[in-house]
Amino acid sequence: MNLLIQYPSSVVIQRLLTVLEFVPDGIYIVNPEGITLYVNAAYEKLSGFKRKDLVGRYMGDLINEGYIDQSASLMVLEQKKTLSIMQKLGRKKDVIVTGRPVFNQDGNIEMVVSSVRDITYLNQLKNDLERVETISKLNNHRFTFDFVGEQKSQFLFNSPQMKEIVQKVEQVAPFPTSILITGPSGAGKEEIVNLIHHMSDRHKKPLIKVNCAAIPEALLESELFGYEGGAFTGSKKEGKMGLLELADGGTFLLDEIGEMPLPLQAKLLRVIQDKKVQRIGSNKSKKIDIRIISATNRDLEKKMHAGEFREDLFYRIAVVQIEVPPLRERLGDIDVLIDHFFYNFKEQYRIEKELLPKTKQVLQDYHWPGNIRELKNIMESLIVSIPEVIIKPEHLPRHIFHSAYKLFPKNLKNQIENYEKMIVEEAINRNNSIRKAAKELGVHHTTLLKKLQRWGEGG
């Protein structure tokens, strides 16, 4: 179906339309009322829509029904000139649409012909390029490691403390030696475990992680060791392989090992000493080859002295010890992590945002009690929850903004100015216009403009 056929000289048009069917770009033609007259085969293919669903329809309705997010044709009709827009087709394809008005002898628009080119691939290339550029920019003074697994993650660092840790990791990774990683919550202990596993020759074998604090004691034992068929009521008939056995050849993380109950500690010690596991209810044991890494944010030595952690187990699991310092003690990492997460969340949510240098400085000076986890969460929340494109210090969560009192001394002038800013911003939001806001506030609108300009520059 196409409505162009109703136009004069329909034979010529029919032939032209046949030609258009072979054009690789999508072609979309609307009449002066914004009603679709024609779409070609390439457009159907690009969009996944059928022409019978589009022809005869008003563009505005197609937007409302979610076919397209904006209409170049309607803009051309309104502005009476050729223009190009980026558009999302069917919510998935990125296309660039160029709409051209076709005028009749009287100078009125007769139709709008739009060509639609798929730039999804180009956009991907652009994003990849931007990513590579940012990464190489970030890379100047630090190392990164990419793990391509089920989830892509990057290990970033720049501080001398972390450089030393990574050197140690590189040194010990090839050996099956057990490693204890200590450090506060969110500091990156688990990421270091990933790093060790991926740097070892075990990287093609499993890396199994068990959080000793998250699993109830009775279950933890059967998860770790497995059981024979009928070993206890409720157990599976055919028995179950334990995680330690499953990790054979690979790496095993005992996360939050400080929470492991004493009886299990004894059993674990035996596994490490004998390099064998025995399923619950079985009298046979099986040889296993695993590297054990343990992690904790508790002080194990203190637990040892309190009789809550076995001394013999401690020395077995802590042949090599790695202590991850809190983020506030490795200032060199904060900067690269801010850039990294900010860029990544921008890309992930396809949102354009900018951090003012002053905002970044507040973030750098903050003491990050929740370490990298906290930093990552804050960066995500800044990207998704601040409507403004430019993120100013006052957009930061209150506790972070207030931590920067040295940067923003609370003298009278500052406090009055902050209050003034708030009043002006509210008036502008309410009136949706600087001129109207000025009128409401009883000041000349150039006064208001000057203020906004000054605040914009000052951050």
Beta carbon nearer to Mg ion, 44 or 190:
190
Least Cα distance to 375 among 193, 139, 187 occurs for 187
Query: What minimum distance in Å lies between the beta carbon of 211 and ligand ATP?
Result: 8
By the rule CB under 6 A, 26 interacts with ligand ATP:
no
Phi, psi values for residue 404, rounded to 5°: -100, 35
* Strand-strand pairing, 179-182 and 291-296: parallel
State CA 330 to chain mean position distance: 23
Query: What minimum distance in Å lies between the beta carbon of 372 and ligand ATP?
Result: 4
Query: What minimum distance in Å lies between the beta carbon of 293 and ligand ATP?
Result: 11
* Binding characters for ligand ATP, 149-168, by CB under 6 A (x = yes): ----xxxxx-----------
Residues near Mg ion (CB under 5 A):
190
Beta carbon nearer to Mg ion, 231 or 293:
293
What does 191 bind: ligand ATP, Mg ion, none (CB cut-off 5 to 8 Å by kind)?
Answer: ligand ATP
Using CB under 6 A, which of the segments 172-180, 298-306, 369-377, 450-458 binds ligand ATP? 369-377
Q: Report whether 155 contacts 144 (CB < 8 A).
A: yes
Q: Which of 142, 275, 298, 373 binds ligand ATP (CB under 6 A)?
A: 373
Report the C-alpha gap between 258 and 256 in whole angstroms: 5
Q: Which of 190, 335, 394, 417 binds ligand ATP (CB under 6 A)?
A: 190
Using CB under 6 A, which of the segments 28-36, 49-57, 178-186, 240-248 binds ligand ATP? 178-186
Query: What minimum distance in Å lies between the beta carbon of 189 and Mg ion?
Result: 5
Beta carbon nearer to ligand ATP, 157 or 345:
157
Question: Kindly report the CA angle at 326 between 404 and 162, in degrees rounded to 5?
Answer: 115
Return the DSSP state at 280.
Answer: B
Q: Which two tokens stand for residue 211?
A: 């959080």
SS3 (DSSP) at 288: coil
Query: What minimum distance in Å lies between the beta carbon of 38 and ligand ATP?
Result: 51
Beta carbon nearer to ligand ATP, 190 or 223:
190
By the rule CB under 6 A, 321 interacts with ligand ATP:
no
Q: Spell 437-455 as b/e; 16+ CB within 10 A means b.
A: bbeebeeeeeebeebbeee
Query: What minimum distance in Å lies between the beta carbon of 297 and Mg ion?
Result: 8
* Strand-strand pairing, 153-157 and 36-39: unpaired
Q: Spell out the SS3 assignment of 138-196.
A: HHHHCEEEEECCCCCEEEEECCHHHHHHHHHHHHHCCCCCCEEEECCCCCCHHHHHHHH
Residues β-bridged to residue 210: 254
What does 297 bind: Mg ion, ligand ATP, none (CB cut-off 5 to 8 Å by kind)?
Answer: ligand ATP
Beta carbon nearer to ligand ATP, 187 or 277:
187
Beta carbon nearer to Mg ion, 118 or 255:
255
Q: Report whether 375 contacts 337 (CB < 8 A).
A: yes
Return the DSSP state at 394.
Answer: G
Q: Which of 376, 383, 392, 393 binds ligand ATP (CB under 6 A)?
A: 376
Query: What minimum distance in Å lies between the beta carbon of 350 and ligand ATP?
Result: 21
Kindly identify the residues of this chain, within the stretch 285-304, that bind ligand ATP according to CB under 6 A.
Answer: 297
By the rule CB under 6 A, 231 interacts with ligand ATP:
no
Report the C-alpha gap between 207 and 292 in whole angstroms: 10
Beta carbon nearer to ligand ATP, 239 or 326:
326
Least Cα distance to 178 among 163, 161, 193 occurs for 193
Footprint on this chain of ligand ATP (rule: CB under 6 A) = 153-157, 183, 185-191, 297, 372-373, 376
